[in-house]
Structures are given as C-alpha cells and as structure tokens.
A and B are shown apart, each in its own frame.
Chain A
Amino acid sequence: MLTYLLKRMVQTFITLLFLTVATFFLLRLAPGGPFDGEKVWPAEIQANIEAKYGLNRPLYSQFFTWGNDLIHGDLRESFHYIGTPVREIISDALPPSLELGFFALVFSLSIGIVLGVLSAWKRGTFFDFSAMFIAIAGITLPAYLVGTLLVLLFSNYLGWLPPALWEDKQSMILPTITLALRPLAIIARMTRTTLLEVMHADYIRTAYSKGLSDSSVLFKHALKNSMIPIITMLGPITASLITGSYVVETIFQIPGLGQYFITSVLNRDYPLVMGMTLTYGLILTLCNLFVDITYGWIDPRIRVDAKK
C-alpha cells in the first residue's frame, strides 16, 4: 500500500508538472501581454514594468523562477489586482467554491443513489418512470438553463428563495441544486442499471434462499456491490462539478474561484492563472487518488497489492 501511495504521489507530481508547464507556455504563446492597454506607454516605462516583473527575461528562466518561488510557498502578486498576493485571492475565493462543490456532491450522491435504488426496486412503476424522466432532463439540460429556470420559478414567481449570493442557508439551495442536477441524474441512472444487473447474480439468489428479507438483500448485498461503477464515476463527476461551478457561480453571483477563471486569462494575469491552474489540478488529482483508494476498500478484488 505504501509503495502504491508513493508511486501515485510521483505520478500526481509529474501530471501537475506537465499541466503547469503546458499552461505556462501556451499562455505566453497567445498574443497580448498583461500590461497592454488602450493607452500606449513610452518604451522606457514599458521596459521598466517588464523588468520589475521579470517579463523581459527568456521564458524558460521565467518559468524556473516561478517554480522556485512556488517551492517556497510564494504564488507571487497578481498583475491585475495590483499588490494583492495570488495566494490571498485564492484563499479568499476557495471556501465558497469548495462549499458549493461539496454540497452539490453530497446532494447528488445521496439523492441520486436513493432515486436509483427506489426506481430499481419499483421497476416499471410510475415512480420509476418519473425518476428516470428527471434523470434524463438532468443529463440533457445545460446548467445555465436549469439555473435561470429555477431562479425564475422560485425567486421571481414564487418568491420563496433568494435569487443570488452565497450567504445564509436559503441562498445556498438553488445553486446547489443547479450544480448537482447533472451528476445526480448520472448517478441515479447508473445506480438503477447496475442494481438491476446485480440482482440477477448468483449470490443474490443464495441470499434469498437463505431466507433473508427483501430489504436486507437489497441494502446489505446488492447495493454495496453496485457501488463500484459509481465510485469510478466520482473522478469525472468532480471534474464536471468544477467546470460546472463556473456557470453556477456566475448565474448566482457567488464570490468563488469561478469569477477569476476567464477574466484572469483574458487579463493575461499570469501569476493568477498559474495559481488557479495549480489549485484546480491539485483538487482533481487528489480526487482521483481518493477514488482509486476507495476502490480497493469497497472491492477487495481490485486492491492494488492483491497481485503480490
């Protein structure tokens, strides 16, 4: 297990390295610079600014000094929000984003699994039909449409919930549902399909013939075994939550990381872009690592050191 973890850490490190290198150089390939504006500065001032931020040195040397600063825990100061350290921007904006993502993940997992189990159990009934309709709608409707429709309905027409911001508990309901709907739909469908497959397995027949009750077979035997595909999905789902949160944060005016994602690139705010990329990359790779470890815990057959 320890060697496996170590190996995965090295892998994670290499992937993150590639990610940062690719972002760094692609960003510089793009035309335009951080201090290009409407106003044209005299050449000396432009040169002075570039010298101050080290932009006049060759690219590879800029990358190495950036990496060196990073190792010392310094993400530099933002070019656009002058004087504000990138670390501060990210640590201010990260909590709402993480909260939103976490709530959406919990919501989609719990409701998705319950919907999936119930519709597999009550297969062919009206409940099954409506649950699967919700699932298809969730998969096919874009988040921006779901979000606006929810705001129109619950804030404008009914007036039950606030249409924006991220402050009290009530304001968190609509964004969480909007972000969670797609993963929820995927999880519900997946749970239903795998559960129906698992119910045909031999060990389920054995469990029934031992005289176990319906619910005991369902929850103790079938459900645990149908969780594997869902855990596999958690990696991609986290990725989609991260991408999706941009739209949700925009629609609901949530002061999270999303607001910086596009503007930082458009402003050529190099330090902020690199900081954001690192943050997202770290979250994603850590989630994947977590998924792989949970995998072996749920299904001993795919435990990593079982091969020895």
Chain B
Amino acid sequence: MKNPFLKDKRFVVSVIVLAILCVLALGAPYFAPFSYDAVSVGPNLAPPGGANIMGTDVLGRDLYSRVLYGARLSLAVGFCTAIFSLVLGTLTGAIAGYFGGIWDKLLMSIVDIFYIFPMLLLAILFTLLLGRGFLGIFMAIGMTTWVTQARLVRALVLQARELPYVEAGRALGLTHLKVLFKHILPNLMGPMIVSLTFQIPNNILTESFLSFVGLGLQPPYSSWGTLANEGYRGIQSYPHLMLFPGLALFITMIAFHFLGDALRDILDPKSSIGSIN
C-alpha cells in the first residue's frame, strides 16, 4: 500500500511549494541580491527586468529582495499566531468540553465575548498598547483567532468524552487530566492539524490586511501587506509594486489551502473544517 500522503498530488505539490518558500524566507540574506532596506540600488521606480527582477520602489529599493524578506515576516507571523491560538484555544476548549458545568459556562462566555469583539478594534487597541511591531500584531491576531479553535476543540472533546476508551481509562484509575491530555487530545490530532493548516494562511491574510491599513509592521520592514500598502498609492502608474507582493501572497495562500484540503481528506475525512474558514 502506498503512502496516502505521497499519493495525493495536492499534498505533494503544495508541500514542495511551501518548502521552497520557507527556504527562500529563511535564506533571504543569501538569496536576496540586496538588503530589504538598502536604498538606491537601482533607479527609482524601475519597471521589472534587468538587474532588479521585480523592479524597484520609490526609494530605489530592490522589490525582489523586499518580497523575499517579506516572506520571512509574513510566514513568521502566520506560524506564531496559529500556534498561539492552537495552544490557548485547545486548552480552553478541552477543559470546557471535558469538565463541563461551571467550567464550560465560564470559559465559553469568555470565548463568546471575544467572538463578537470586532477584530479591527481589538487590533487597533493592541497596537496602541504594545506599539506597531511584531508583538502588537501578534497579540491582535492571536487574541481574535483562538476562540474559533476553542469552539472546535470543545465540540470535538464533547463527542470524544462519551467514547468507551475514556470510560476504560477512568476505570483503570487514570486521573481526569491524564485521560484528557494523554488520551483524548492525541486522538484529536487529525482535526487539529487540519485546522492549524487553515489557520496559518488566514492569519497571514489578516496580517497583510492589518499592515495594509497601516496598523501592522512599519516601513522599512517589508511584510507583504506593508509592501502592498506602499504599492497601492501608485497602482495606476507602477502596478508592479503591488502586483508582486500580491502574487507572493496569492501563491502562499493557494499552497496552504490545497495542503489543508489534502490533509483534511487524508487525516479527517468526515469533517468540514476549512470550508468553514
């Protein structure tokens, strides 16, 4: 029997694309011809071609280098926030779902409040409190996405709690915490990995949205959203400034999306996570 992962073309292609992206992002100093903030490396606002493959921006910075360094920031924000919301959401959802009663009521009403908090408002408040940097944007995205994860895990734990292996575990004298963390949660790894794969591109998109509206990482840092924001002002005369960062974002999003679809079909065929995102 062949490995189901290798048999799925979507999985293979998207993993290859994402691996290339990660290598390019991590090795940006090696692959980029210039530094992200080196000005006047070419003529200002040069169109794509020649020494600057993607052209240059208004300060003569090499766009290709900036997009490569942008991959670093965008991917880092996407991964870190997704893991943050995975940990916080799983803990909250698991405790609420497993113990029920007052825990469930208390934790889920906190979740509900965060759920209706307008993301943009929370993001603005966090950037005011923590500054417009990595930490502010990290908290803004993390604090708004963990609730979805919490709701998902709670629903899964509610179902799993009634299964015979949980009763068996209890009958063997395991503590509740041991049953929950050593037996129930490992069994839910499939759906959780799938939801993580959909969470990462969503967070990258949110980061680019926040940076685009000017609440995210500030220049000279170059996340894809920041670049798109810079390019937006000159879109009619210099479309390349917005199109290349947009294209990079689009490729990443598509790759994650197909990876998520493939993982869902392999790991968790019954669920409909992802189509929800």
Chain A residues with CB under 8 Å of chain B are: 14-15, 18-19, 22-23, 26-27, 29-32, 136, 139-145, 148, 151-152, 156, 186, 189-190, 193-194, 229, 233, 236, 239, 242-243, 246-247, 250, 261-262, 265-266, 276-277, 280-281, 284-285, 288
- Give residues 235-252 of B contacting A (CB, 8 Å): 235-236, 239, 242, 246, 249-250
- Complex CA gap A189/B272 in Å reads 11
**Beta-carbon contact of B119 and A243 below 8 Å:** yes
- Do B213 and A243 have beta carbons less than 8 Å apart? no
A23 touches B254 (CB 8 A): no
A136-B254, A142-B209, A262-B124 known; A19 and B246 CB under 8 Å?
no
Asked whether A30 and B257 contact (CB < 8 A) given A19-B113, A145-B242, the answer is no
CB of B65 closer than 8 Å to a CB of A: no
B215 neighbours in A (Cβ, 8 Å)? 262
Contact present for B116 and A144 (CB under 8 Å): no
Residue among A29, A142, A148, A242 with most chain B CB within 10 A: A142
- A277 is contacted by which of B121, B246, B272 (Cβ under 8 Å)? B121
Given contacts A144-B212, A148-B242, A262-B215, 20 further A-B contacts (CB under 8 A): A19-B116, A23-B121, A23-B125, A26-B125, A32-B128, A136-B257, A140-B205, A140-B250, A141-B253, A142-B205, A142-B208, A142-B225, A148-B235, A194-B272, A261-B121, A262-B124, A265-B121, A265-B125, A265-B128, A280-B121
B276 neighbours in A (Cβ, 8 Å): 186, 190, 233, 236
* B118 touches A (CB below 8 Å): yes
Q: Which residue of B lies closest to A143 (CB)?
A: B209
Contact A141 B250 (CB under 8 A): yes
Count residues of B near A (Cβ-Cβ below 8 Å).
Answer: 38
Task: Pick from A29, A140, A151, A193: contact of B272, CB below 8 A.
Answer: A193
Complex: A276 Cα to B96 Cα, angstroms: 32
Residues of A within 8 A of B121 (CB): 23, 261, 265, 276-277, 280
A142 engages B128 (CB within 8 Å): no
Closest chain A CB from B243 CB (angstroms): 9
Taking Cβ atoms with an 8 Å cutoff, the residues of B that contact A are 109, 112-113, 116-121, 124-125, 128-129, 201, 205, 208-209, 212-215, 225, 228, 232, 235-236, 239, 242, 246, 249-250, 253-254, 257, 272, 275-277
* Contact for A142 among B117, B120, B249, CB less than 8 A: B249
Measured in the bound complex, the distance between the Cα atoms of B245 and A148 in whole Å is 13
Query: How far, in angstroms, from A30 to B254 measured CA to CA in the complex?
Result: 38
Q: Which residue of chain A has its CB nearest to the CB of B258?
A: A136
Please indicate the chain A residues that have their CB under 8 angstroms from the CB of B212 in the complex: 142, 144, 247
* Chain A positions within 8 Å of B239 at CB level: 152
| Interchain residue pairs with CB less than 8 A apart (11) | A29-B129, A30-B129, A140-B201, A142-B212, A152-B239, A233-B276, A242-B118, A265-B121, A265-B128, A277-B118, A284-B118
CB of B213 within 8 A of CB of A262, answer: yes
